[in-house]
Amino acid sequence: MPVVSAVPFTLKRSSDLYTSGGGYESTTETAHGLVRLEEDRLVIQWRVEVTTESMEGSGYETREAIEPVREIVIPLAKVAGAAVTGRKWWRWVGPRLTITAADLLAFEKIAGPQGLRLKHPSKLVLRIKRADRLIAEEFAAELALTLTRLPEDEGRAQLPESAQS
């Protein structure tokens, strides 16, 4: 199955913890990944790097761990589309690729605590480098074109008959 388009992305989240003994621990999780459009499916792969810095008394420790690559495959019938956002007047906000699901189950494996913990289960918002903005815009356009070419039996979710009248 030939690859149509692929976009590298990153996701980052941090948490801080102050202990009762006056210590401090900061954990940063950075997911480096790739979203790939194939003929009839969307493939998302990512690897999480966890960096933990802790200070206790006069001691300082940094721990790093890299998790194995994870992958989910989403049929295109469960995807509604994608858009690139982030061209704001302030320069420090980089572009984002937002992939929207047509089915809440589409991102189930990536949305929960075992995945990337998405803020909304139907939107996958991926931070991309400014240099990859054109690649992401091409990806969104190719996804839109591919979605319009889906066969009717695989295509967009149809309204129930009671809602069509």
- The per-residue pLDDT for range 53-70, each reduced to its tens digit, is 988 877 888 999 999 999
Burial of 31 (0-12, 13-18, 19+ CB in 10 A): buried
pTM to 2 decimal places? 0.76
Report the chain's mean pLDDT, rounded to a whole number.
Answer: 81
CA dist 79 → 24, 41, 88, 98, 138 (Å): 42, 9, 26, 11, 17
Sign of the dihedral through C-alpha 146, 149, 151, 157: positive
Domain boundaries, the chain: 3-150
Residue 30: pLDDT above 80? Answer: yes
pLDDT at residue 56 in the model: 83
pLDDT at residue 162 in the model: 43
Q: Which helix (H) or strand (E) holds 24?
A: strand 24-38
Greater confidence (162 vs 87) lies with 87
CATH T-level fold of 3-150: PH-domain like (2.30.29)
Of the chain, the percentage scoring pLDDT greater than 90 comes to 36
pLDDT at residue 47 in the model: 93
pLDDT at residue 110 in the model: 74
Burial 67-95 (b: 16+ CB within 10 A, else e): eeebeeebebbbbbebebebeeeeeeebb
CB 79 within 8 A of CB 42: yes
CA dist 31 → 64, 68, 70, 156 (Å): 13, 11, 10, 30
